[in-house]
Chain A
Amino acid sequence: MRQPTIGIVDYGVGNLASVWHALHDLQFRCRISSEPATLSASDLLLLPGVGAFPAAMAALHRTGLVDYLQSEARKGRPMIGICLGMQLLAESSTEQRPTPGLGLLPATVRALQAGAWHIGWNEIEPEREDPLFGSEWPHSVYFNHSYVVDAQPQHRVFIARAGEPITAVVRKDNVVGIQFHPEKSQSTGRKMLHRVVEGLLCD
């Protein structure tokens, strides 16, 4: 059986090595690239996290990836965004300054209430059943953000609680956003990442 390939989108500020090694350890082939031609040879596209929204969107525009990612998502190519990568999937963000996003999820990004941080390990709770995530999920996962995605309730799969309910996982068809870092949430986080990638590839 052919080993699936994951295209890790290099938008200039992501934690590329962390994501690459996590996926490699999960037995996936990975390509890191900002070239549509290279990314098109993969089965699933992944936008990694770490960074600020405006700089990341500017990098995506600079490399001509905005149109490409929008077009691929609309064609049904599986896509996962992690942390900042999830936020980039939204319509817009107010981080640093108002900035339009990729618009692949009907959602917006805003600061956590009272300028709070959400850094460290927190529990997640299911909002709705989704076979992609199975019936077992990691109880404690690693978050590192201060901006949150306001997603429509029907798309929210998991939430976390930090003074307010925070969208932890969101899904709309072939597009999945994960606010925490499954690649850095130790073995349970990686199990979840494995299941989501496999599930999207089988859908």
Chain B
Amino acid sequence: MIKKRLIGVVTVKNGWAVQSFGYGRYLPLGRPEVLIANLDRWGADEILLQCIDRSHTIQGPDLRLLDRVSRQGLATPLIYSGGLRHAADGVAAIKAGADRVCVDALLHDDLDAVMSICEPLGAQAVVASLPLSMTNDGIRWFDYRSRQSFPLATELARLLREGAISEAMIIDWRHEGSPGAFDLRLLALPALRGIPLIAFGGLSSEPLLREALQMPEVVGVAQGNFLSYREHAVQAVKQLLHGLPLRAAHFESSAP
């Protein structure tokens, strides 16, 4: 049967890989290509490259970075996020080296444009990124550009339920970068029932990861900062999660 995934996230701002804390504080890590090469070598199940300033500055996808990453001959599936505006951007990102694309800001701006990306690529190649938080007013959907939160659009939830987009990455943006702080309630929202979910943001401790991965809708967990601190971190995390339906841990110099 299909395995759940441990996804390594590399966040890029102004061309540099950064550690991100709560969508507001950033510490430089180095060249994105190096971090991605590490995740590839360590056997991550997927790698998400997210360029967080491309939509903000209306630059479109960072195809030059994708090209540099691709030239390394990655053997791990790569999801690209950042600056996608329309179908041509999605196709260009796939041609340049991504295997899937992820949209965030465009979900706020233009759902028709999101659907236009799904048309040539297929829904299986498109992931929706949803930074969410629980408040006294219920669930809120964060737009990182305006730094305002809104109710989750019913039309978006409908498209996800109908499979117009294959998976939703649920980001606990307030707790991003805070160890063991992910709010599991975000994965049990009635509006998201039946939708394949990837959990991201503050997922570091074994009990929390285990609990998230045991939820039926959760098909994967994503980690960013927490995979940057030690060699072979991906496989060390997998070893901790022994017994869950993940691809087995391997400790090899190249990916299994």
Nearest-CB distance from B232 to chain A (Å)?
Answer: 14
Q: Which of B31-75 contact A (CB under 8 A)?
A: 43, 45-46, 66-67, 70-75
Whether B239 is near chain A, meaning CB under 8 Å from some CB there, is no
Partner among B72, B76, B119, B254 whose Cβ is within 8 Å of the Cβ of A184: B76
B76 adjacent to A186 (CB under 8 Å): yes
Q: Mark B105-135, 1 if CB is under 8 A from A, else 0.
A: 0000000000000111111110000000000
Contacts between the two chains (Cβ within 8 Å), count:
132
1/0 contact string of A82-111 vs chain B (CB within 8 Å)? 001000000000011000000000000000
In contact, B70 and A13 (Cβ under 8 angstroms): no
Q: Is residue B89 contacting chain A, with contact meaning CB distance below 8 A?
A: no
* Contact A144/B94 with A117-B166, A186-B256 known, Cβ cut-off 8 Å: no
In the complex, what distance in Å separates the CA atom of A186 from the CA atom of B46?
11
Q: Which residue of A lies closest to B196 (CB)?
A: A117
Cβ of B174 within 8 Å of any chain A Cβ, yes or no, is: no
Partner of B75, one of A96, A121, A186: A186
Report if A25 contacts B (CB, 8 A): yes
Residues of chain B within 8 A (CB-CB) of A55 are 119-120
B255: CB under 8 A from chain A? yes
Pick from B43, B45, B95: contact of A16, CB below 8 A: B95
CB nearest to A146 among chain B residues: B124
Q: Across the interface, do A120 and B219 meet the contact criterion of CB distance under 8 Å?
A: yes
Within 8 A of A (CB), among B1-52: 1-5, 43, 45-46
Determine the distance from Cα of A95 to Cα of B99 in the docked complex, in whole angstroms: 19
Please, which residues of chain B bring their CB within 8 A of the CB of A189?
A: 75
Given contact pairs A15-B98, A50-B99, A187 touches B74 in the complex (Cβ within 8 A): no
Contact B166 A17 (CB under 8 A): no
Name which residue of chain A comes closest to B250, CB basis. A186
8 Å CB contacts to A: which residues of B114-169?
A: 118-125, 163, 166-167
Residues B256 and A95 in contact, CB atoms below 8 Å apart: no
Say whether B96 faces chain A, with CB atoms less than 8 Å apart.
yes
A residues near B (Cβ < 8 Å) are: 12-18, 21-22, 24-25, 50-53, 55, 84, 95-96, 115, 117-122, 140, 142-146, 161-162, 181, 183-190
Closest 9 CB pairs of A and B: A186-B255, A52-B122, A17-B97, A21-B73, A55-B120, A17-B70, A25-B73, A184-B77, A186-B75
Residues of B within 8 A of A (CB): 1-5, 43, 45-46, 66-67, 70-78, 91, 94-100, 118-125, 163, 166-167, 196, 219-220, 247-248, 254-256
